[in-house]
Structure 1
Amino acid sequence: MAAASGLRAMVGVKRVIDYAVKVRVKPDKTGVVTDGVKHSMNPFCEIAVEEAVRLKEKKLVSEVIAVSCGPQQCQETIRTALAMGADRGLHVEIPAKDYESLGPFQVSKILAALAKKEDVNLLLLGKQAIDDDCNQTGQMTAAFLDWPQGTFASEVTLDGDKLKVEREVDGGLETVHLKLPAVVTADLRLNEPRYATLPNIMKAKKKKIEVVKPSDLGVDLTPRLKTLSVEDPPQRTAGVKVETVDDLVAKLKESGRI
């Protein structure tokens, strides 16, 4: 294992429809409308970037590499990570038509290949993306690499030659020790991401972004899942106010509830 000061971290950053945008389903129900819609970095990915940068500021990590898979516009997301403090970027360029069917399985293979190629010790990811909510990429990547994983992390510290990860679980908190190299996925409570300052945004424009193709990494993007239909959530009907218990019983009988 590399000394703490020699640890190299890779962070996955996904471009998603901005959380403040009202998502619209395409008329043909094959997906959601993305053209002309504001995009930004997945919020959980922002938390992962912030944690990697903090580890670097503590001199526990020597380099932070931001990676994104997708069309040309993903470089904007990488630039955001660079402005937050990442050192350089990797863009795995995927045409828009192929990107629509890209799933966690293919992304995990790409990340695993890049982690080996870049010889990183730590892979930091958001626990899930807000567009598909799959919560699979970190776990699959760890499996492909045969690395230990700490998911839903709310605290990450270096403890000797191991990584100490506090995890958010249903019953409270769980603490695990991971032998490096390892995969960690960020929970909402891990940190509060910083805002990129104007000077850092300008510096980010000069930082290097290397462009590679999935074929360069030996990854096949053939989809294994097919989306049959995307539907809007059912609209809720307005409630009815009643004055007395008798009115309530009458309404319930009328609706067939009792």
Structure 2
Amino acid sequence: MRIFVCVKQVPDTSGVVAVNPDGTLNRASMQTIINPDDLIAMEQALVLKDNTGCQVTAVTMGPPPAEGMLRELLAMGADDAILISAREFGGSDTFATSQIISAAINHVGYSDEDMIFCGRQAIDGDTAQVGPQIAEKLGLPQISYAAEIVKEGNEVTVKRMLEDGYMKIKVQTPCLITCISDQDSKARYMTLNGINHCYEKPYLVLDFEALKDEPLIELDKIGLKGSPTNIFKSFTPPQKGVGTMLEGADKNTAETLANILLEKHVI
């Protein structure tokens, strides 16, 4: 059994967000992290690996520097990694990205016992579209918002989170599952042994030449020019002014606050 875990390198939104003059994100000048939901998807896969001994493969589409992220996942416990990287793929929207990743997984090959894990959504887009679109492209059943995953034979039981509770769903492999992070979710750390051996593990790079003949790819609908949708504009929200702190709980403090609110026509 093999679990493909789709991951994405995203800008660290806790730091400075850089925007180009044309409104696109200047990703090269921003710090990056592994998308949080994708980390939980990897953790779910590694838990199943601990219990079943299955193979875990990290998959990402991005520029060559994304290798660093994949090496981190190999150090965490993934068995091998696949980087899908080509200039022709740059600027792809979710529709284009999903068909490229689907083509890569189809190119490598998957069996009736295999599964694909994705994070619920990426923090740089928040669309939650790529996972379901991959399932649609490959013709696989899918379950979203997974918090717990248990596999017995070819049957998978998933605890799917809802706004006011959860439901349990059973599905047959092969299938695709998107995982959700919450306050109780926590991915494991890289191990010292994993760091020492992460460069010894199999690492496959798939470029445009390797995938251009895959039937799942529509060559006129990939990359920035071919994507059906694109980002019109990105911008950094203006910073709010420094607040005023009033100390004390007496009448004078209350009167001061009331006068400030009156001046601003709040009251």
**TM-score, structure 1 as length reference:** 0.84
2:16 touches 2:30 (CA, 8 Å); kept in 1?
no
1:93-242 alignment runs, 5 A limit? 93-95=85-87, 98-99=89-90, 101-117=91-107, 118-120=109-111, 121-189=114-182, 191-217=185-211, 218=214, 219=217, 220=219, 221=222, 222-236=226-240
2:61 touches 2:101 (CA, 8 Å); kept in 1?
no
Q: C-alpha offsets along residues 165-223 of structure 1, whole Å, 9 cap, x if unaligned?
A: 11121122121111211111111147421111222112111112111124532333122
Match of 1:74 among 66, 72, 77: 66
2:85 touches 2:205 (CA, 8 Å); kept in 1?
yes
2:121 touches 2:128 (CA, 8 Å); kept in 1?
yes
Give the drift of 1:10.
0.5
Residue 116 of structure 1 aligns with an amino acid whose one-letter code is N
Give the drift of 1:74.
1.2
User: CA 1:192–1:172 in 2, change beyond 3 Å: closer, same or farther?
Assistant: same
Out of 74-83 and 102-111, give the one that drifted further: 102-111
Residue 173 of structure 1 aligns with an amino acid whose one-letter code is Y
Where structure 2 has 5 or more consecutive residues not aligned to the other structure, the ranges are 247-252
Cα separation, 1, equivalents of 2:261 and 2:66: 56
Give the drift of 1:163.
0.9
User: CA 1:199–1:156 in 2, change beyond 3 Å: closer, same or farther?
Assistant: same
Residue 233 of structure 1 aligns with an amino acid whose one-letter code is P
2:84 touches 2:104 (CA, 8 Å); kept in 1?
no
User: CA 1:239–1:37 in 2, change beyond 3 Å: closer, same or farther?
Assistant: closer
1:17 touches 1:37 (CA, 8 Å); kept in 2?
yes
Is structure 2 residue 93 aligned with structure 1 residue 89? no
- Matched length: 245
Q: SS state of the match for residue 58, structure 1?
A: helix
Cα separation, 1, equivalents of 2:11 and 2:243: 32
Match of 2:15 among 12, 21, 41: 21
Q: C-alpha offsets along residues 141-178 of structure 1, whole Å, 9 cap, x if unaligned?
A: 11112211111111111145311111121122121111
User: CA 1:69–1:246 in 2, change beyond 3 Å: closer, same or farther?
Assistant: closer
Give the drift of 1:43.
1.6
User: CA 1:52–1:250 in 2, change beyond 3 Å: closer, same or farther?
Assistant: same
Is structure 2 residue 41 aligned with structure 1 residue 41? no
Give the drift of 1:25.
2.1
Match of 1:4 in 2: none
User: CA 1:199–1:159 in 2, change beyond 3 Å: closer, same or farther?
Assistant: closer
1:110 touches 1:214 (CA, 8 Å); kept in 2?
no
Q: C-alpha offsets along residues 23-59 of structure 1, whole Å, 9 cap, x if unaligned?
A: 1222x14222322432222121111112112111111
Out of 241-250 and 110-119, give the one that drifted further: 241-250
**TM-score, structure 2 as length reference:** 0.81
Out of 11-20 and 213-222, give the one that drifted further: 213-222
Cα separation, 1, equivalents of 2:261 and 2:14: 41
Is structure 2 residue 54 aligned with structure 1 residue 62? yes
Residue 15 of structure 1 aligns with an amino acid whose one-letter code is Q
Cα separation, 2, equivalents of 1:159 and 1:175: 15
Where structure 1 has 5 or more consecutive residues not aligned to the other structure, the ranges are 1-6
1:125 touches 1:185 (CA, 8 Å); kept in 2?
yes
2:146 touches 2:179 (CA, 8 Å); kept in 1?
yes
The sequence identity of aligned pairs, in percent, is 27
Give the drift of 1:248.
8.5
Residue 200 of structure 2 aligns with an amino acid whose one-letter code is K
2:95 touches 2:130 (CA, 8 Å); kept in 1?
yes
